[in-house]
Amino acid sequence: MNNFKYRNPTKILFGKGQIENLSTEIPANSKILMLYGGGSIMKNGIYDQVKKALSGYEVVEFGGIPANPEYSVLLKALKVIKDEKITYLLAVGGGSVIDGTKFLSAAALYEGETPWDLLTNKKPVTEGMPFATVLTLPATGSEMNSGSVITRAETKEKLAFGGPGMFPQFSVLDPEVVKSIPQRQLANGIADAFTHVMEQYMTYPIGAKLQDRFAESIMQTLVETAPEIMKDPSDYEAASDFMWSCTMALNGLIQQGVPGDWAVHSMGHELTALYGIDHARTLAILAGNHYRYNFETKKEKLAQYAERVWNITEGTLEEKAHAGIDKTDEFFKSLGIDIKLSDYTKDYSETGSTVAKRFTERGWEGLGEHKSLKPSDAQKIIEMSY
């Protein structure tokens, strides 16, 4: 096990009716900016629940934060924060709204030239305007971590930032929100959380037995819960297991003391930036082929995964490892997710080389747990996924 430093100060309020407790968590006299996305919270009743819970506060609203939170939109919200002298941010939404709110939390206190620096200077953010979240879409884990990914349409960039100042003060996780989520987004949430675990787990054996078993626990729970959720999103018990699994998949716990890969995310972000493909679907397109391409360095872990998550006990280590990869592809397909790039765009013949070129231009550090993957490797993995 590697050395690690770990702290996660976010408070979780989990369960039915927890939105009511917003006023016990947000300091009195706060001037709140309530941030949300495309307005689905108007239809499913969450907007009304939140507004009612905030009745004692001065509240300004900013809606319309898009999937892949867009820099130019966030700059408008930043102006509202400054003009209105906002003191507290409340994200009501999924990963995009929460990630956008993290950017605003940091940007509100940033004193440099342009807030885009936060995305490019790679400095951990230690301080931000206090913020909290009401999660409406289990998937990204952003509600209990300190990371954020922001998109800039102008330059077709999608970049990450974060730091110890970027944890939500608290997050409300009410599984009742799951029942009004469309099938497409449920599938995305399951695939996103599952891949988050894979990125932190599917590397090489490092003897961190408990982290391995925790990672496998989350994947087993997602595999077991996925068909129940897809069939009946109003199944509260299944929704609870799904929601808590998504949070635990990327709240920092399972990554402590172990190597991380994250190459699938790095490549996937490019596919979203280039084609607007849903984040989770880019991961499903690439994951299997990433493991096939890097089979030799990952086969021990792949075989362990096949055994423990998919109960594949027959065959050689290599056979089990390959079966594990196939099971992963099948799992994504069982959610109704297409796993070839050509299912999403006809304009894919140059994608591999385009992404490789972008990586090279941006200054390349090497991808994967060994930081050994070159732009040409990424190109090949993407080409395997056409």
Q: Angle between the 375-384 and 351-361 helix axes, to the nearest 10 degrees?
A: 160
Per the structure block, which two tokens stand in for 353? 């080389």
Q: CA-CA distances (angstroms) from residue 215 to 7, 193, 197, 249, 252?
A: 18, 11, 6, 8, 11
Q: CA-CA distances (angstroms) from residue 167 to 74, 105, 138, 234?
A: 19, 10, 17, 29
Residue 327 CB, nearest approach to its own copies (Å): 18
> What track of x and - describes contact with its own copies for positions 336 through 365 (by CB under 8 A)?
------------------------------
Nearer to its own copies, 64 or 165 (CB): 165
Q: What is the DSSP string of 97-115?
A: HHHHHHHHHHHHH--SS-T
Per the structure block, which two tokens stand in for 26? 């947000």
Residues 280-339 that bind its own copies (CB under 8 A): none
Q: Residues 6 or more apart from 297 whose CB is under 8 A from it?
A: 204, 369, 370
Q: What is the DSSP string of 169-212?
A: SEEEE-GGGGGGS-HHHHHHHHHHHHHHHHHHHSS---S-HHHH
Nearer to its own copies, 87 or 220 (CB): 220
CA distance linking residue 279 with residue 287, whole number of Å: 12
CA distance linking residue 98 with residue 357, whole number of Å: 31
CA distance linking residue 9 with residue 132, whole number of Å: 12
Residue 213 interacting with its own copies (CB under 8 A): yes
Residue 14 CB, nearest approach to its own copies (Å): 5
Nearer to its own copies, 32 or 172 (CB): 172
Judged by CB under 8 A, the residue of 23, 44, 221, 334 near its own copies is 221
Residue 210 interacting with its own copies (CB under 8 A): yes
Residue 232 has φ and ψ, to the nearest 5°, of: -145, 90
Residues 222-251 that bind its own copies (CB under 8 A): 224-225, 237, 240-241, 244-245, 248
Which among 96-104, 115-123, 252-260, 315-323 is the span making contact with its own copies, rule CB under 8 A? 252-260
Residue 2 interacting with its own copies (CB under 8 A): yes
Nearer to its own copies, 234 or 372 (CB): 234
Pairing of strands 58-62, 131-135: unpaired
Span between the terminal Cα atoms of the chain, in Å = 37
Nearer to its own copies, 221 or 297 (CB): 221
Residue 221 CB, nearest approach to its own copies (Å): 5
Residue 10 interacting with its own copies (CB under 8 A): yes
Q: Residues 6 or more apart from 219 whose CB is under 8 A from it?
A: 194, 197, 198, 201, 305, 309
Pairing of strands 31-35, 88-93: parallel
Judged by CB under 8 A, the residue of 39, 56, 207, 227 near its own copies is 207
Residue 52 interacting with its own copies (CB under 8 A): no
Q: To 5 degrees, how large is the angle CA 290–CA 260–CA 348?
A: 30
Judged by CB under 8 A, the residue of 18, 195, 203, 289 near its own copies is 18
Q: Angle between the 375-384 and 279-293 helix axes, to the nearest 10 degrees?
A: 110
Residue 14 interacting with its own copies (CB under 8 A): yes
Judged by CB under 8 A, the residue of 44, 180, 217, 345 near its own copies is 217
Nearer to its own copies, 11 or 374 (CB): 11
Residue 17 interacting with its own copies (CB under 8 A): yes
Region for 100 from its dihedrals, namely left if φ exceeds 0, alpha if ψ lies in -120 to 50, beta otherwise: alpha
Which among 38-46, 148-156, 212-220, 321-329 is the span making contact with its own copies, rule CB under 8 A? 212-220
Residue 11 interacting with its own copies (CB under 8 A): yes
Residue 292 CB, nearest approach to its own copies (Å): 28
Judged by CB under 8 A, the residue of 12, 33, 74, 104 near its own copies is 12
Residue 104 CB, nearest approach to its own copies (Å): 23
Residues 135-194 that bind its own copies (CB under 8 A): 170, 175
Residue 29 interacting with its own copies (CB under 8 A): no
CA distance linking residue 164 with residue 88, whole number of Å: 18
Can you give the binding site for its own copies, defined by CB under 8 A? Answer: 1-18, 170, 175, 207-211, 213-214, 216-218, 220-221, 224-225, 237, 240-241, 244-245, 248, 253, 256-257
